[in-house]
Structure 1
Amino acid sequence: MTETLGTTGEFGLIAAVTRGLSRSEDVLVGPGDDAAVVAVPDGRVVITTDLLVEGRHFRQDWSSAYDVGRKAAAQNLADVVAMGARPTALVVGFGGPADLPTAWAVELNQGLADEAELVGASIVGGDTVQSDKIIVSVTAFGSLDGRRPVLRSGARPGDELAFAGRLGWAEAGYAVLTRGFRSPRTVVDAHRRPQPPYADGPRAAIAGASSMCDVSDGLIADLRHIAEASQVVIDVRTPALAVAEPLQAVAAATGLDAMTFVLTGGEDHALVGTFEPADVPDGWTVIGTVAEGNENRPAGTVTVDGELFASPAGHAHFTS
């Protein structure tokens, strides 16, 4: 007989998912008390949270529980490093039906823990509840280690635009999966488990990035956040954006445009930032420029090769 959440119970599940969790030196009190205690060396905490809902953000026939755990952790850890911070801890909220196999929840937690371990962070607590569908909520914490946070509002005219990581891979994987296929495997895996360039966030902060964010909703959509917050115009140069062969293969098979994957695809959690030309760090690729607004291109605008981008720029919650 398969053990389910209903037979395991809340406290049995908590015991199962917390058993054997590692604890970093930032964690002073971990799971098992009313709340965790995490060290804050410089008195400031970076905090972010994201929600994954079954049927909206993942499907069990597309992704394993382990994949969902890796993805849920990654999208939060990427937000922390996009501030130039070092991730330290995660708190997880989980809801699921009573007939969901307990093993699914345990596997999910292993994915969360393994992704957190990549950056030296720990799962320090959370909550569980019965729900009609699976819901995973992750809150991540980070330390700036004495550095200033890198905000979206710091881009300046004359800066160069650069990115680190991958663009368009997860979107290409989504295009494949929605058509009932499972290859190319590289892009399908990218949709299931993003690979944010974690080390490049703090590295960019140390190098002097003037602004930064992670690409969760699409390159153009997320660059608009920077352009609007900084009141500048950002121009993306497509010749600087290499389109990987797997994306070209998906585009050819589906009749879609590979560059559109790169410009509008989200959930790869690449990092995009602005720098003085001499400050762009190794591992970052320059793909555009920052300028002042004018009558033709008002501040807050993002252009592609000097022209306004006509297609939808990326994902927007509650409208797509």
Structure 2
Amino acid sequence: MGEFGLIRRVTEGRVQPPSTLLGPGDDAAVVAAPDGRVVASTDVLVENVHFRLDWSTPEQVGRKAVAVNVADVAAMGAVPTALLVGMACPPDTPASVMDELANGMWAEAARAGAGVVGGDMVTSERLVISVTVLGDLQGRAPVTRSGARPGDVLAVAGRLGWAAAGLAVLGRGFRSPVAVVGAQRAPEPPYAAGPAAAAAGATAMIDISDGLLADLGHVAESSQVGIDVRTELLEVHQRLVDIANALGADPRHWVLTGGEDHALAATFPTVEAVPPDWRVIGAVRQGQGVTVDGQPYEGPQGWEHWR
């Protein structure tokens, strides 16, 4: 099929949102930026590092590639507008795999309200997907990691621990329960919760990609504060408890340190400022670092490459 035949195959006939002024087909795309500022983020997914095709369908991988990027834009309080996709794959990759990958990307982009406006395709020894997402702040200030202040409340939106439970299940050779395995294969970030938090006056926000405690550590460091998570406020779903009992694991550990759910964590000046779809799980205090019930957490707090 060749490079250009493949590009036509995965882009023709796709619907673009109004923010796409010029989509695939030229040297570059043109995207509307009514705010005058553009939020941008990039993630790279590598086969057998971030996904496995014996665990996930190509469609699920495509959804995941988009979801992990859009969550970063949502964590800034922005609305996603456009995606640029760089894809590298072996020359003997079946066309059906590329079709499913593209279908997953377009479907997740549509769920987020963004368009796939361009990118690049090259040959490589393994499948690699790089996605850059652009977002619109809609006149609001970006919500960064550095705005948390002592006295703020800590809240989360989205699920915690489900993807980690799914990874544990897949690692044992099982393919069910479907709900937790699906959370690992294709996360469902709460995209709308980011802009809602920004509108409600969130002082700091972050996408939980590497684990709640690990990512809150970035907020604590950037804001020069301490953050305390209260376990009695955490939601540990009964499904996670059941799986943990079967595997001899601690479900609370999945909730505190498991990544890849791409929930959002944010700090707010008061409890009353927390939007309806958010759950209060702790508080910001004087000091430094992250504690659980006032004490340091023993063991790894999340994922970090090369460590």
Q: Do both share a fold (TM > 0.5)?
A: yes
Aligned to 1:285: 279
Amino acid at match of 1:249: D
Q: Distance in 2 between matches of 1:315 and 1:308?
A: 17
* CA deviation profile, 1:108-144 (whole Å, cap 9, x unmatched): 0110110010121000000000100000000000000
Shift of 1:13: 0.4
Identify which of 134, 143, 156 aligns with 2:149: 156
Aligned to 1:318: 306
Aligned to 2:175: 182
Residues 15-164 of structure 1 correspond to what in structure 2 (within 5 A)?
15-164=8-157
Any unmatched runs of 5+ in structure 1?
A: 1-7, 294-298
Task: Give RMSD over aligned pairs.
Answer: 0.6
* CA deviation profile, 1:185-209 (whole Å, cap 9, x unmatched): 1100000110101110000000000
Aligned to 1:5: none
Amino acid at match of 2:154: L
Shift of 1:162: 0.2
Aligned to 1:201: 194
Shift of 1:253: 1.2
* CA deviation profile, 1:249-277 (whole Å, cap 9, x unmatched): 22111111000000000000000000011
SS at match of 1:118: helix
Is 1:246 paired with 2:234? no
Amino acid at match of 1:287: I
Q: Distance in 1 between matches of 2:301 and 2:251?
A: 14
Residues 205-284 of structure 1 correspond to what in structure 2 (within 5 A)?
205-277=198-270, 278-284=272-278
SS at match of 1:152: coil
Any unmatched runs of 5+ in structure 2?
A: none
Q: Distance in 1 between matches of 2:241 and 2:13?
A: 43
Q: Distance in 2 between matches of 1:102 and 1:140?
A: 25
Q: Distance in 2 between matches of 1:174 and 1:291?
A: 33
Q: Distance in 2 between matches of 1:56 and 1:217?
A: 14
* CA deviation profile, 1:143-193 (whole Å, cap 9, x unmatched): 001000000000000000000000000000000001100111110000011
Shift of 1:19: 1.2
Amino acid at match of 2:292: V
Amino acid at match of 1:303: T
Shift of 1:69: 0.4
SS at match of 1:153: coil
Amino acid at match of 2:46: V
Structure-1-length-normalised TM-score = 0.95
Q: Distance in 1 between matches of 2:5 and 2:303?
A: 38
The number of residue pairs the alignment matches comes to: 306
SS at match of 2:53: coil
Amino acid at match of 1:32: G
Aligned to 1:305: 293
Q: Distance in 1 between matches of 2:210 and 2:112?
A: 23
SS at match of 1:308: coil
Q: Distance in 1 between matches of 2:45 and 2:99?
A: 17
Q: Distance in 2 between matches of 1:61 and 1:246?
A: 24
